[in-house]
A = this chain, B = another copy of it.
């Protein structure tokens, strides 16, 4: 009875592959065990059930997203940084749809990976705040701006993945308009209507 040499990271990586190719719904312990050449209960030696696996998937998703955005925005500032951030964000969601979808479900507080998840989401928020440096925002204004940016990015790719944009108008143009809109909004005077 030889050993398969599994590990938690190995399992999560395989799960991420399934999610990216066949969708997040296709990630099951049964299929995972089958692909890893192992029986289902063996997975429990490394992960704490399905909920834990999903939380770990979310961790890899938000970590990969953070790394992609960080790599794209290093050394840039202002509008240049904003554009690079937005493109990297959407590009990651396109290349890893399953991992991105995994971060769209609330984490399980019982999972051992839950705290790690929260740390990584905080890191992503901090990174976005860094990207917004150069628009001379301070304190709560920066937080509000980061929320608006993240909302638009998340909403765009989420609707894209849902096929919610039925009309034939070009998606790239739509995305550029979204980024332009955010950029314009960041320059506009805050807390008042547009003049």
Contact = CB atoms under 8 A, between A and B. Distances in A.
**Which secondary structure dominates chain A's binding surface?**
helix
Interface string A170-195: 10011001101111111110100110
B148 A178 contact: yes
A77 interface: no
A166 interface: yes
Contacts of A151: 151-152, 155-156, 158-159, 178
- Kindly report how many copies of this chain are found in the complex they form together: 2
A: interface residue count bin: 35 or more
Nearest to A182: B181
B167 A143 contact: yes
29 contacts: A79-B193, A106-B162, A118-B166, A121-B166, A122-B166, A140-B170, A143-B167, A144-B169, A144-B173, A145-B177, A147-B169, A147-B177, A148-B177, A148-B178, A150-B155, A150-B164, A151-B156, A151-B159, A152-B178, A153-B155, A155-B156, A155-B158, A177-B190, A180-B185, A181-B185, A183-B193, A184-B184, A184-B185, A185-B185
